[in-house]
């Protein structure tokens, strides 16, 4: 009986949404179990960028590298656009996407500017203005 329960617990299952109190923030994609499944290949690829050899391999042949990880069309387009919001919508996790952003020299101000829809200089000005109010 115990062996049967263990085997049953190891079988893959279709995840169901939590039906409890989900909070939303307008304009912010929720990273839940569905996003995790959707973005698995993308996040796995971005995690691989922890190693320099993998970053170099991606830069040498982005299409081949994306194929190696099985990225879908939406994920490929998001990678090619270098747009963080598109990557998040494609199931990307912000922590893994930081690895990708670093390859192209994007810093947190670049990402903040993309997320707020302003230029990097305008985003920097907002940060300075907010600091001046403290």
pLDDT tens for residues 36-72?
899 999 999 999 999 999 999 999 999 999 999 999 9
Please check the confidence at residue 14 and state whether its pLDDT lies above 60. no
Q: What is the CA radius of gyration of the chain?
A: 19
Tell me the whole-structure pTM to 2 decimals: 0.71
CA distance 36 to 30: 10
Let me know: does 75 contact 41? Beta carbons within 8 Å: yes
Q: What angle do CA 86, 91, 94 make, to 5 degrees?
A: 80
Q: Chain-centre distance of CA 17, in angstroms?
A: 20
Name residue 25's beta-bridge partners: 28
CA distance 96 to 84: 11
Please check the confidence at residue 77 and state whether its pLDDT lies above 70. yes
**What mean pLDDT do residues 21-26 have?**
65
104 — pLDDT class (breaks 50, 70, 90): confident
What pLDDT does residue 134 have?
Answer: 72
Torsion over CA: 113, 117, 123, 126 (sign): negative
18 — pLDDT class (breaks 50, 70, 90): very low
């Amino acid at each position: 009986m115990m062996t049967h329960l263990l085997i049953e617990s190891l079988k893959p299952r279709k995840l169901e949404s939590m039906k409890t109190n989900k909070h939303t923030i307008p304009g912010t994609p929720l990273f839940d179990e569905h996003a995790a499944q959707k973005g698995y290949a993308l996040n796995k690829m971005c995690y691989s960028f922890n190693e320099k050899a993998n970053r170099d391999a991606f830069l040498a042949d982005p299409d081949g590298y994306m194929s190696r990880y099985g990225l879908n069309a939406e994920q490929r387009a998001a990678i090619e656009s270098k747009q963080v919001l598109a990557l998040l919508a494609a199931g990307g996790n912000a922590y893994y996407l930081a690895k990708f952003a670093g390859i192209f020299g994007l810093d947190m101000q670049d990402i903040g500017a993309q997320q707020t829809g302003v230029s990097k200089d305008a985003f920097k000005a907002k940060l300075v203005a907010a600091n001046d109010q403290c």
